[in-house]
Amino acid sequence: MRDSINSYEKKVRSQNGEDGIIEELFFRIGTTNKYFVEFGVQDGSECNTAYLSLFNNWSGLMIEGNKKNYKRLKANFSNHKFVKTVHQFVTKDNISSIFKHNYVPAEFDLLSIDIDGNDYWVWNALLEYKPRIVVIEYNASYPPPQKMVIPYNPNFVWDGTSYYGASLTSLSELAKKLGYALLGTDLRGVNAFFIRKDLVALSGFQELTPEQGYHLPSYNNGPLGGHPWRDGPILEI
């Protein structure tokens, strides 16, 4: 029977079972600099890197675009000198300069992307950076083999509907181009987990197709358990 990342789901400070999956992945592949970058953290109380920074001595960069959320984020991590917080609305045009300005190393352990919109485009803009593990939100309302990416709009703000981000198939295609392999998704159908291809064997997990790694959305009250449906222009890439 194939070993699955879902066997290790555990929630400490993450939204779903991401904490346990991330912990198991780094137990298997080890850490290098124990450095993370996460954007879309809200106030930092429930995100994919809070557990690492608060309980596992990781350092890193948390980026939040909402002013009120950032104010709380800054207060929440004011006593954690190895975590830098930045108030910035992330776009594909500014993300590389944000990384450079904050001295993000070219290779680091974990990147987490959850901005409810231009996630695909922002990851694609980080060609100079090679994190070992990437956790990125996918739009589970578009199951494999559907390709779906919202057209890039630097001012996009999610409206709570199914119109955001990119499907798992489209993210997996991008991941291949960037040198990453899909290991799976969390059980609630929120985040996808990618590992740099040179680390797949070390992880002990198998690379999965989108069909193998996909989970239906099991959140909110929309169709099939996802967000309320909204049509909009999409790119099938």
Q: Could you tell me the two tokens for 187?
A: 């059980």
Residue 183 CA to its chain's centroid (Å): 13
Tokens of 199: 């680390």
Looking at every residue in the chain, the average pLDDT score rounds to 96
What pLDDT score does 61 carry? Answer: 98
Identify the band that residue 224 occupies on the pLDDT scale cut at 50, 70 and 90. low
Which amino acid is it at 203? Answer: S
pLDDT for 226 equals 86
Calpha distance 113→122 (Å, rounded): 9
**Closest Cα partner for 109 from 38, 42, 208?**
38
pLDDT surpasses 70 at 221 = no
Q: For residue 18, what are the CA distances in angstroms to 87, 134, 191, 202? A: 24, 12, 8, 20
pTM: 0.97
Architecture of domain 5-225: 3-Layer(aba) Sandwich (3.40)
pLDDT band at 193 (very low <50, low <70, confident <90, very high): very high
| pLDDT tens readout for residues 142-188 | 999 999 999 999 999 999 999 999 999 999 999 999 999 999 999 99
What is the distance between the alpha carbons of residues 171 and 141, in angstroms, rounded to a whole number? 14
Q: How far is CA 205 from the centre of its chain?
A: 19
pLDDT digits (tens, 9 = 90+) for 79-127: 999 999 999 999 999 999 999 999 999 999 999 999 999 999 999 999 9
